[in-house]
Amino acid sequence: MPQQTKQMMQPKATIKALNASWYKVKASSSKNAEVWLYDEIGGWGITARAFANEIKALGDIKHIDLRIHSPGGDVFEGMAIYNLLKNHPATIHVHIDGLAASMGSVIAMAGDVIHIPENAMMMIHKPWGIQGGDADQMRQYADLLDKVESTLISAYLNKSGKSEEEIKTLLKAETWYTGAEAVAAGFADELTSKLEVAAQLKSNREYENMPEAVKKFFEPQASAPQKPANQPAAAAPSAAVIDPPPAPAAPVAADPVNIDLAAIKAQLQADESARRAAIKSAFGSFAESHAELLSECVLDMSVTAAAAKDRLLAALGSGTTPTTQSFVHAGNGNLIGDSVRASIEARAGLAAAEKDNAFTGMTLAELARASLHERGVNVSGHSRMDIVGLAFTHSTSDFGHLLADVAHKSMLKGYEEAEEVFTQFTSKGQLSDFRESHRVDLSTFPGLDLVPEGAEYKYGTVGDHGEKIALATYGKLFSITRQAIINDDLSALTRIPRLMGRAAIRTVGDLVFAVLTGNPKMSDGKVLFHADHNNLAAAADLSIDSISAAMTAMRLQKDQNAVLNIRPKTLLTSVANEPRAKALLLAEFDPLMADSKVPNPIRNMLEVVSDARLDEANVKANFMLADAGLYDTIEVAYLDGNDKPYIEQQEGFTVDGAAFKVRIDAGVAPLSHRTMVKMPTK
C-alpha cells in the first residue's frame, strides 16, 4: 500500500482503556446467540476480524439477537461487521436498545427484522474525515469518501426500499429518527414499547444536528482531553462526525509550524505508548515465559496488538503434536479468561483438559486469585474470602461471567439429556411477544370447487375457529457464594444448573400434559374432548377393538362436509398401560384368536409413548394423536423460537457471591380437536 494511502486511511481515535470492550457475544443455546454492540465501533474496541472469529466459534447457529446501543465509529470496521452479519445464514433480529447512529445504524441494516423502542433513536449521515496534503491528495481523499458513501447507501437502500437520491438527501442532512419515524421511513420493521436505557456511552462524538433527547445517552465529557488544534495528521473516513476543538479566542504568537510539530509528536508518542500497552496486555501471564518474543513485538512499531497475539499463539503451538481433537478459544483476545474458563470446564467434565493451559488443576479460589492477578490487581495482604469477593466485583475481572458460562453449559446439558416425550406428538412454534395470539386450525380446508370456463374462482376459508395461545415466563434463581468458591464446590456450577435445565424442560412438559388431563375449553365453547367433537371414545379396556374404534373416529373427522382422513400416529398411555399397549400393537396375530392365526389388523400402526404424569394424575384414559408434523395437535410456542432456557447473571449483587437466573418463555395450547382422541378405560 502506498504511504500516501496509508496516511489517508490512518484512524484518528481517542485512546481508551485497553480493557474496554464494546461488545459481547453469548450463546443462549446450541442454535441461538445474543450479540451486544454497546459502544463505539473500531478504534480501541474489538476488530472486525476478532468479531468474525467469535461468530465463527459459535458454530451452526440458526438465530442471532443483535442488540445495538452505539454512536457509530470506524466505517471500514463497521462495513466488515455489516457484511459478516448480512451473509450469515442465521436469522438476525436487531434490537436498538437506545441509539443506533452512523455506523451503528448501518450494522442494524443487516437484520432480517429490526425492532426499535418508541424512545430509541437512529441517525444516518455522510462519511466524514480529515486530510492534509496537496491538491492531488485532497482530491484522492474526496474520491475515497465518495466510495465509502456508496457502500452506506447500498445498505440503507436494501433495507428501506428508498431510491438512491432519497438516501443521498437524507445522508447529507444528517437525519435523526425517533423509533416511530424510523419504522415509517422503512429503516426499522417493528415499533416496541419504551425501554429504560441504563447504559451511557463513553464517546467524544458530537453531531451537528444532535437532538437534546440523544444527549442522555452519552456520559459527560468535561474531563475528556482536547485534540490539538490545527492538527494536519490524516484521519480515516469515519461514519461518525467528530467536531474539531474550538478555536482559540486570540491568535497565538508562537510559530504555527512548531505548534503543529509538537502536537504531532505528542500524538505519535501517545499512540506508541498505547500500542505497547496493548501488546503487553495481550501477552498476559505469558510475558515472562516468552519475554524475547514480547520484546521483539514491542520494539517493532509495525506490529499491532492483534499481530502480537497471533505471534504468541503461534509460539505456544510450536513443537506440539497435533491430536484428533482441536481446542478453539472463542474469545476477543482474552487469553486469560479463555484459559480460566477452559480449566473450570475440564474439571466439570464439560470439555477435555488442555495440556498447555497454565491454569489446569487450579481450585476455584486459586482461579479467582489468578483472574485478578493477571489483570494487574494487587491482592497481596488480602484473605481468601476478600480475594474471592474482589474477583466477583472488580471492574477488570470477568470471573463471575466465566462461572456463568460454565453454569450455562451445565444447564443446557441437563435440559438436553432429560427424557421428555412431549416433543414426539407436539409441534414447536414461536411468538414475538407476550400478547395473546390466535391460531387457526390449518388441518382443515374445504374441497376445491368446479370452475366453469370463464367463471370466477371463489374464496375458501381455512378452519372455522381460532384457538388462543400466549407466552408466560418460568424461572428460578440460584447463587454461587464465596464460601462455595473457597470450598471448591463444583456442584454449584454443575449439578445445580444441570438440575435447573431438567426442571426447565420438565416445566414445559407439565404444561403439555395439563392440556390433555385438564381438558380445556376450545374456541367453540366446548371442552377439547367432547362427544360433539367426535373425539371422546366409550370407556373400554385397552384392546384391538378399542384402538381400532379410536383410529376410525379420527379418520372420519369432518370439516363441514369434507372427510379429512387424518391418520393417527401416536398412542399415549400411562406407564402402567404401556406393556399392554405394546403387546397389542406388536402382536402378529389377534390375541383373542391366536389359535386360529388371524392377523392382527393394527400391528405396528401406532407408536406407543408413555409418561408417568398420567399415572400421577390417576388419569384412567389413553390418548391417540396425529402426526404433529402434518396436522395441528398441540403447539408448544417459545419466545422468538428460543426453545432452550436462558441463564443470566444478576446485576448489582454484593461481594457475597453471584446470583444467577434461569428462565424460559413458553406457551402451550391445543390447536384442533380433530387430531386427538381420548380413550377412557374402565
Enzyme catalytic residues? 102, 125
Q: Measured at the alpha carbon of residue 36, what is the angle toward residues 30 and 38, in degrees to the nearest 5? A: 170
What are the cell numbers at 400? Answer: 463471575
For the residues of 58-101, what is the DSSP string, one character each?
Answer: T-S-SEEEEEEEE--BBHHHHHHHHHHHHT-SSEEEEEEEEEEE
What are 494's three cell numbers?
Answer: 454443575
Report which of 102, 109, 205, 99 is spatially closest to residue 149, judged by C-alpha positions.
Answer: 102
Q: Which residues of 409-420 are buried (b: 16+ CB within 10 A; e: fewer)?
A: bbbbbbbeebee
- Say which amino acid occupies 401: H
**Apex 295 CA angle, 290 and 297, nearest 5:** 95
- Tell me if 44 sits within 8 A of 13, measured CB to CB: yes
Contact present, 662 and 507 (Cβ < 8 Å): no
Query: How far is 155 from 114, CA to CA, in rounded Å?
Result: 14
- Distance between CA atoms of residues 569 and 607, nearest Å: 6
- Could you tell me if 60 and 31 are in contact, meaning their C-beta atoms sit under 8 angstroms apart? yes
Number of continuous H segments (helices) and E segments (strands) in the chain: 19, 21
Sign of CA dihedral 181, 187, 193, 196: negative
Q: How far is CA 164 from CA 6, 156, 237, 437, in A?
A: 30, 9, 21, 39
CA dist 105 and 68 (Å) reads: 9
Rounded Cα gap, residues 259 and 91, in angstroms: 53
Q: Is 121 helix (H, G, I), strand (E, B) or coil?
A: strand
Count of alpha carbons within 13 Å of 178, Cβ hemisphere only? 10
**And the C-alpha cell for 198?**
441504563
Distance of CA 511 to the CA centre of its chain: 26
Name the one residue in this structure whose C-alpha cell is 443483535.
66
